[in-house]
Structures are given as C-alpha cells and as structure tokens.
Amino acid sequence: MTQTKIAIIGGGVIGGGWAARFALAGHDVAIFDPDPEAERKVAEVYANAKAATRRLYVAPLPPPGKITHVGSIAEAVDGAGWVQESVSERLDLKHRVYAEIQETLDAEAVIGSSTSGFKPSELQQGSKDPGQILVAHPFNPVYLLPLAEIVAGPSGDPRAVEWACKLLRSIGMHPLVVRQEIDAHIADRFLEAVWREALWLVKDGIATTEEIDDAIRYGFGLRWAQMGLFETYRVAGGEAGMRHFMEQFGPALKWPWTKLMDVPDFTPELVDLITEQSDAQSGMHSIRELERIRDDNLVGILSALKARPWGAGDCIANHEKRLRELSFAGKDTPQDYTKPLALHSATVLPDWVDYNGHMTEFRYLHVFGDATDAFLTHIGMDSAYMAGGRSVYTVETHLRHIAEVREGRPLHIETQLLGHDEKRIRIAHIMREGDGGDVLATAEHMLLSVNTAESRAAPMAAPLIDCLAAIATGHSALAAPDFAGRAIRAL
C-alpha cells in the first residue's frame, strides 16, 4: 500500500516497538514523548528490531522509513494518516491526548490506542469525533509478534476498522477484529487469569517465579505458540476429537482447582518476594540482553512456524511473499533492455556466514534464486499467472564462487537473458559487490515452463512470452558472458 506518515504518541516499550515496526516497513515515523531519554530508548529498541527482523525475513526488506522525534503532539500528527497512542494506562491522560491530537489531525486519519484494558467507548468519551478512535492493541515485542486486537466499539467507524486492518496487514501483522467491546479485549483476559493463578502459587510457597515460567516455556506454552487453546485440546481428545475431550474433562471444571476470582493482596511482603525471586531468576541480564535473547528465540520459533506455514508462521510467510513481490521489479517497471537487468540486491546477514566468517555456499544459491524469482516476476509470472496452473521451474544450475563475501557486504545482481523458446529460458546472473563492484560469483540457469496441474512441460503463455521477446531483442546485442554454456547446453 502507499506509504503514509505515522505518528507515535508515547515512546516507551510499546510505542518504540510500534515505531520500529512501521519504520522497518518503510513508513516515516514522528514520535512525541516528553521523556528526555525517549530518543535513546527508541533507538535501542529499533536496533534490536532491525537485527531481529532481518533474521526473520529472508525476503528483501523495503528501505526503512525515517524516525523523527518532535517537540509536540501537533507536530507529530500533522500530515499523519495513522496515529498510534501508547501513553500510560490512565484514562484522563488519554482523553487529554486525544483532544490535543484531534485539534490538528486530518479528519480522514485514524487514531489507534495500544491500551490493553480500556474499552473504545471509554476512550471515545468527550471526543469531538469518536469514530476516529479505536483500540489497536499489540503484543510485545510489537516488531515481531503479529497480533493486534482491533476494537471499534458501538461508536466505531467501519471505515476506520477497514483502514486499520489494511495498514496492519501491510506491515506484516494479523489484525484480530473483536466483535464486541469488553474489558481487556480477548488475549489479556487469558493472561490475567494465568497471572492471578501465578500470584497465588508464589504467595502460597508452591512455586517460585522461575518454576512457574518453566511450567509454561517447557510445556503448554510451546503448544499454545502454534495451536492456541482449542486446537490443542482437540488434539488432546485423540481420534474421538473435541467432543470426547469435552466429555472427559468437562466435569473437572467444577473441581476447586482455581482461585480465578480471588486475588491475593499486593502486600509489601508479596511484592518483595516476587521481586527477589525474579531478580534471582533473571537479574544477571540487563533488559536489553533479555530483549535480544527473547528476540532470538522468537525468530527461531517463528521461522520454524513460517516453514510450515502454521499459526503465526502463516502471517509471517504471507508477509514475506508480499515483501518479495514489492522488492522485485514488476513487469511494468521500465528497464533498459540494452543492458543486463538490475532486478535484485541483498545484504549479507549475520546468519549467512560460516565459521570462516564468509558467506556459506548455499547462500550464494539463495541469492541467485531470489534473483531468478525477481526475473520471473519481471516477465509477468505473478500469482495470477500461477493461479492458471502455470509456473516456471529451475531444471539446471551452474554456480561459481569467485571471491570471499563477508557479513554486511552489499550484493548486486545483474541478469542477462541468453536465450529462450516456447518452453525454456536460459539466463545468467553476475553477483557484484555493490553496483558496479568486483565480481563475487556467477550463475547460469535453465528454466522450464510447466503445467503444474499435469506436472509436465508446457508452452509459456502471455505475458511471459511477450516480455521475453522484448528482452531478447535488447540482450541480443550483448556479448555472452565467458562462463556461459560450460555446463548448460545452449539452445
């Protein structure tokens, strides 16, 4: 979607996470936070977010937007299409902030609140335009976890909800529209129930903070991460399914297991006990270290789910597909066909290097594969083309590693069409260090047009064959690379 200015009001943990998520998706972000340390804090969150996001998505990310810290709410929201309010959970403060926002904000823009508990009808009280305000409740870290609960309330504007969902999907999030407003929305009601039980377990001396965390992270938390609650219990029902589970375990709901509606008093003694146990558990790490450890673990879990794709991984996989489509030059992008095509660039990421500090072998093929995908996208092999039961497969590859490539190096791919007929495409890639730099590697590919429904070779259809003809006319004047044809038979 078209990039839009984003305003962030409140640059704490959540506001900083929102700023990083939007900026890494290519949006310019203006932040207002009176905290004199806000700029430093947001910069540290952004650094963690950038590192984690680059590891999570194999697809090239868009050029990041600019994050600017400004001196007033009016300056932050001027010209913004979306305002994300992430101030403290005080209703009177939020009302004052909304009144100041709406003095300047365009009537077509939307205000999303990061509130974890207030209902939209409470947020909208006294507003000159209640429909402009809705709940957009994320989860920490905002830049990695896809979920955002969208709650509009009785005075909500359907247009605002539609815009919220569209914007959040475009930055890789999963908007969950809550049907009716309710205190704490959906997810935090579960968290509150678990939190209450955990407080009692600590207070009664049954478990420490670390033991409770172990029960979650070594057990049901791993199941919940991919299947949630009901699907987990469906599997627990075995072959007989959910009905059997309900019939077998339903009576246990009447047993006096829980103190769900009873909360221990937050006495100084209980606060001290929990603080001491938490310090013993995690005090050897700084907050930034814990954030990086958390991010590393989340990238691993989300990457595994993305490979399926399943659960949150499905959201990641869909966003990565979109990132690829955005990064590859489209079929209508003007190109000078008298020169090799410049369709793909990349940067060597930290996890691309081996024990020698060089980019490992399979990453060369990874980058050349992305360049081939960029070429195919350029000639018109998009989702609509593939939906018709046609695709193009790589059937032969010749790859040469010429120079060592270290972490952080910019990679630029030049692509030349060597030949084609109605079923075959022969291309060559040259990998350079930056635009016009030294040659690092080369690749030559033979591609075959296929009918995917019948699993056989088939002639290409428009627009592929037409675009190939146009490229061939220009590239026919180019000399074939000296490495071409050594392993792949010429057409």
Percent of the chain with pLDDT over 70: 97
Distances (CA, A) of 132 to 92, 99, 151, 434: 18, 12, 12, 45
State the residue for tokens 């030294």.
438
Statement: residue 330 has pLDDT above 50: no
Residue 362 has a pLDDT of 92
pTM over 0.85: no
- For residue 1, is pLDDT > 90? no
Residues in contact with 299: Cβ distance below 8 Å, sequence separation at least 6, in sequence order: 52, 55, 56, 144
Instruction: State residue 488's pLDDT score.
Output: 62
Rg (CA), the chain: 27
- Round to whole Å and give the CA distance between 237 and 235: 5
239-243, 272-276, 419-423, 452-456: which is most confident = 419-423
Upstream peptide bond of 481 is cis (omega within 30 degrees of 0): no
Domain ranges across the chain:
6-177, 187-284, 328-475
For the segment 96-113, the average pLDDT, to the nearest whole number, is 96
* pLDDT, position 271: 87
DSSP string, 230-278: HHHHHHHTGGGHHHHHHHHHGGGGGSTT--TT------HHHHHHHHHHH
Q: Are 59 and 324 in contact (CB under 8 A)?
A: yes
The answer, yes or no, to whether residue 254 has pLDDT greater than 80, is no
Helix (H, G, I), strand (E, B) or coil at 36: coil
* Pick from 94-98, 128-132, 166-170, 233-237: least confident: 233-237
The confidence band for 233, taking pLDDT boundaries of 50, 70 and 90, is confident
Tell me the H-state helices in 262-342. 268-282, 287-306, 312-327
Q: What pLDDT score was predicted for residue 125? A: 96
What mean pLDDT is predicted for residues 141-160? 95
Burial class (CB in 10 A: 0-12, 13-18, 19+), 351: exposed
The pLDDT of residue 302 is above 70:
yes
pLDDT number for residue 17: 97
Point out which residues pair with 474 in neighbouring strands.
none
Interval 340-350 mean pLDDT: 90
Residue type at 183?
Answer: D
pLDDT at residue number 258 = 73
- Of 481, 487, 330, nearest to 416 by C-alpha is 481
Overall average pLDDT of the 223-230 stretch? 90
Write the DSSP assignment of 203-241 as a string of letters.
HTTS--HHHHHHHIIIIIHHHHHHHTTHHHHHHHTGGGH
Q: How far apart are CA 204 and CA 226, in angstroms?
A: 32
Residue 419: what pLDDT? 96
Length of the chain: 491
Q: From 3.40.50.410, 3.40.50.1370, 3.40.50.720, 3.90.78.10, which CATH number describes the 6-177 domain?
A: 3.40.50.720
* Residue 251 in tokens: 């009576």
Residue owning tokens 């407003």: 181
Using CB atoms within 10 Å of the CB of residue 316, give its burial: 0 to 12 exposed, 13 to 18 middle, 19+ buried: buried
Instruction: Determine the Cα–Cα distance for residues 55 and 299; give it in Å rounded to an integer.
Output: 7
pLDDT of 471 higher than 80: yes
Quick one: fold of 328-475?
Answer: Thiol Ester Dehydrase; Chain A (3.10.129)
Same fold, 187-284 and 328-475: no
Strand pairing category for 341-347 and 410-420 = antiparallel
At residue 262, the pLDDT reads: 79
Residue 251 has a pLDDT of: 78
Residue range 47-71, pLDDT digits in tens: 999 999 988 998 888 999 999 999 9
Residue 333 clears pLDDT 60, i.e. is over it: no
With 50 as the cut, is the pLDDT of residue 331 above it? no
Mean pLDDT of all residues belonging to the chain: 92
3-class secondary structure, 130: helix
Arch. (CATH architecture) of 187-284: Orthogonal Bundle (1.10)
How confident is the model over 106-122, as pLDDT tens digits? 999 999 999 999 999 99
